């Protein structure tokens, strides 16, 4: 295959990728809006503060990705002591 044909194929693949990605993003919009409304609801009703929602979300993501808390704490402590004064 010539270089021109290869570049044309790559360009077409990028266009196809962008089109499909756009379709997915359009489908995700209602879910993003639902997520935003949920956050607003909990905040407006005084159920959770912005900080509490943020902490809950971080904990959820850590649980979902099976983070080893002992290892995380060890690395956090190491970095915290080594980065003092740098940040």
The domain locations on the chain are 3-83
Q: Distance between CA atoms of 41 and 50, rounded to whole angstroms?
A: 11
**How far does the chain reach from its first CA to its final CA, in angstroms?**
52
pLDDT for 2 equals 83
pLDDT at 56 over 80: yes
Q: What is the mean pLDDT of the chain?
A: 94
pLDDT for 84 equals 83
| Structure confidence at residue 7 as a pLDDT band (50, 70, 90) | confident
pLDDT for 46 equals 98
Do residues 53 and 39 lie in contact, with contact meaning Cβ atoms separated by under 8 Å? Answer: yes
Instruction: Classify residue 47 by its DSSP letter.
Output: S
Q: Model-level pTM?
A: 0.66
């Amino acid at each position: 295959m010539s270089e021109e044909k290869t570049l044309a194929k790559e360009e077409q693949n990028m266009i196809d990728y962008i089109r499909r990605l756009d379709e997915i993003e359009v489908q995700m919009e209602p879910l993003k809006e639902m997520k935003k409304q949920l956050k607003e609801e909990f905040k407006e009703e005084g159920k959770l503060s912005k900080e509490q929602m943020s902490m809950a979300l971080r904990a959820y993501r850590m649980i979902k990705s099976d983070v080893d808390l002992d290892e995380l704490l060890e690395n956090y402590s190491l970095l915290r002591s080594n980065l003092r004064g740098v940040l």
